[in-house]
C-alpha cells in the first residue's frame, strides 16, 4: 500500500474534477489545513458544520472532503465565542484539512447533477445549461531523433494527444535538420561550445487540452535531452466535443401527473416534505420531461423553460422567484438543498475505487451527521 500525501490526493481529485469547472467566484479547493501532510483517514460530507467537525475529531480524521465550502466570505474576526469561528479553530487545533468541491462537482460529467438525475430515474439525460467546453492548443517541440520516442511518450502520458474519448497518443512528426551554435556558458547535450552543430531532429506536434498545458510542458522538460528545448504553442479554433454545465434535463420512463410526480420526488430523494409551484394550482398537469439543478438554483429556471421541461427541480426557491416561475407557466418542485447528500455515498464510492486502483493506504469514512437544518411538521 502507498502512503497518501494531501498534495497527491488533491492532484488526482482535480484531474477528475478540475477547479476550472467551478462557477466564477465559487471558493472551491483548500479551505483549512496543510496538503503536505500524510492522509490516513478521509471523511466525505455534504456540509462542514461544528457537529461534523466534532465527528471528525472523534474519528481521528485527517482530511475532510466536502461539497459545500465552509468559508464563503472572508472572516473579519477570530471570535471563538462564535460557534462557526470556533469550528475553524477546532479544525486547526486537531490538524484536520478541509477541501471543498462545489460547483466544479456540480458541473462535472458524472458528478452531482448526474447523480440526482440517476436517483430520479431519468433517461436521455443532457446538460441543462452548457457553459464550458474544453479549449485546445497545439504543441510543437523539436527533439533529436535519438530521444524523440522518449519525449513523445512523456507528453502523451501527461495527457497530450487525446482527441475525444475515442483516440489517445495522437501525434504528428516532421523530420529535419536542427542547427545551433553553443556559446558562452552553454552546456550542450550535443556539440561543443563555439562550434556550429547540426542534428537530425523530429518536430513532434500534438493537440492538448489548455488546462493541461503546464503539466505537459513539465513532462516535456523532464524528458527532453536539451539544455534549452525549443517548442511552440498555438491556440486552435477546434474544441473538444465534451461539454460541461449546470443542471440536467431528462425524461421519465412513464408520464405521470404532478401529484404523483411529487410523491416520486419525495421517495427518490428520501425527503419528508417538499414545496410545489403549480400555475393555476393544477396538480393534474402531465409530467414527462424533467429539468433539475441541485442546490440553490432558482435563478436558472429560464434554462429549464428553454429546454421545454414540464417541471424544474431545485432547492431553496425564493418567494419572489416562485412568483416569476408561476407567471412564466413553469411547474417547480423544491425538495430542499439537502438532497445533495447523495454526494456522501457517491464520493465514498469514487474514492474507494481510486484507493484500489492506486493502492492508497487510506480509510474512506462517510459522515453520519444529519446537517439538514429543517424539521417538517410530519416529523413532530
For the segment 205-225, what is each residue's pLDDT rounded down to a tens digit?
999 998 899 999 999 999 999
Q: Which residue has the higher pLDDT, 184 or 99?
A: 99
Please tell me the CATH superfamily of domain 4-102+341-377, with its number: NIF3 (NGG1p interacting factor 3)-like (3.40.1390.30)
Residue 241's pLDDT is: 66
Architecture of domain 133-242: 2-Layer Sandwich (3.30)
Q: Does domain 107-131+245-339 have CATH number 3.40.109.10?
A: no
Ranges of CATH 3.40.1390.30 domains, the chain: 4-102+341-377, 107-131+245-339
Calculate the alpha carbon distances from 108 to 10, 68, 120, 146, 244 in Å: 16, 15, 18, 41, 6
Does 31 show up as a binding residue in the annotation? no
Instruction: Please state, in angstroms and rounded to a whole number, the distance separating the CA atoms of residues 213 and 339.
Output: 37
Q: Is position 102 annotated in a ligand binding site?
A: no
363 is in an annotated binding site: no
pLDDT digits (tens, 9 = 90+) for 11-60: 999 989 999 999 999 999 999 999 999 999 999 999 999 999 999 999 99
Please check if 169 is assigned to a binding site.
Answer: no
What are the start-end ranges of the E strands in the chain?
A: 4-5, 29-32, 38-39, 41-45, 63-66, 97-100, 123-144, 172-180, 197-209, 230-257, 275-277, 286-296, 311-315, 331-334, 363-366
Q: Considering the chain, tell me which residue range(s) the CATH 3.30.70.120 domain(s) occupy.
A: 133-242
The confidence score (pLDDT) of residue 175 equals 96
337 annotated among ligand-binding-site residues: yes
Amino acid at each position: 500500500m502507498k502512503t497518501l500525501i494531501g498534495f497527491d490526493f488533491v492532484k488526482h481529485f482535480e484531474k477528475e474534477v478540475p477547479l476550472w469547472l467551478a462557477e466564477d467566484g465559487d471558493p472551491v479547493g483548500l479551505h483549512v489545513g496543510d496538503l503536505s501532510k500524510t492522509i490516513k483517514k478521509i471523511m466525505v460530507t455534504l456540509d462542514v458544520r461544528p457537529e461534523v467537525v466534532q465527528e471528525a475529531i472523534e474519528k481521528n480524521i485527517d482530511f475532510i472532503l466536502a461539497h459545500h465550502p465552509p468559508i464563503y466570505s472572508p472572516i473579519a474576526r477570530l471570535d471563538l465565542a462564535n460557534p462557526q469561528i470556533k469550528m475553524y479553530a477546532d479544525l486547526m487545533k486537531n490538524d484536520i484539512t478541509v477541501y471543498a468541491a462545489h460547483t466544479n462537482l456540480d458541473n462535472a460529467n458524472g458528478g452531482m447533477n448526474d447523480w440526482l438525475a440517476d436517483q430520479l430515474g431519468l433517461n436521455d439525460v443532457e446538460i441543462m445549461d452548457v457553459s464550458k467546453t474544453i479549449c485546445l492548443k497545439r504543441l510543437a517541440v523539436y527533439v533529436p531523433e535519438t530521444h524523440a520516442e522518449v519525449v513523445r511518450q512523456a507528453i502523451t502520458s501527461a495527457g497530450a494527444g487525446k482527441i475525444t474519448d475515442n483516440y489517445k497518443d495522437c501525434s504528428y512528426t516532421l523530420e529535419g535538420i536542427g542547427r545551433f551554435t553553443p556559446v558562452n556558458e552553454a552546456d550542450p547535450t550535443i556539440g561543443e561550445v563555439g562550434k556550429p552543430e547540426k542534428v537530425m531532429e523530429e518536430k513532434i506536434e500534438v493537440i492538448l487540452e489548455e488546462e493541461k498545458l503546464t503539466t505537459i510542458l513539465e513532462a516535456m522538460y523532464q524528458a527532453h535531452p536539451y539544455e534549452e528545448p525549443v517548442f511552440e504553442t498555438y491556440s486552435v479554433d477546434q474544441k473538444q466535443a465534451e461539454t460541461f454545465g449546470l443542471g440536467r434535463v431528462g425524461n421519465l420512463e412513464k408520464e405521470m401527473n404532478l401529484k404523483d410526480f411529487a410523491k416520486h420526488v419525495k421517495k427518490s430523494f428520501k425527503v419528508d416534505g417538499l414545496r410545489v409551484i403549480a400555475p393555476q394550482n393544477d396538480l393534474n398537469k402531465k409530467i414527462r420531461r424533467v429539468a433539475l439543478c441541485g442546490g440553490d438554483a432558482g435563478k436558472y429556471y429560464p434554462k429549464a423553460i428553454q429546454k421545454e421541461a414540464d417541471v424544474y427541480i431545485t432547492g431553496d426557491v425564493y418567494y419572489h422567484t416562485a412568483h416569476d416561475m408561476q407567471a412564466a407557466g413553469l411547474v417547480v418542485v423544491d425538495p430542499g438543498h439537502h438532497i445533495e447528500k447523495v454526494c456522501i455515498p457517491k464520493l465514498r464510492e469514487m474514492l474507494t475505487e481510486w484507493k484500489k486502483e492506486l493502492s492508497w493506504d487510506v480509510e474512506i469514512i462517510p459522515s453520519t451527521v444529519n446537517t439538514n437544518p429543517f424539521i417538517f411538521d410530519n416529523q413532530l
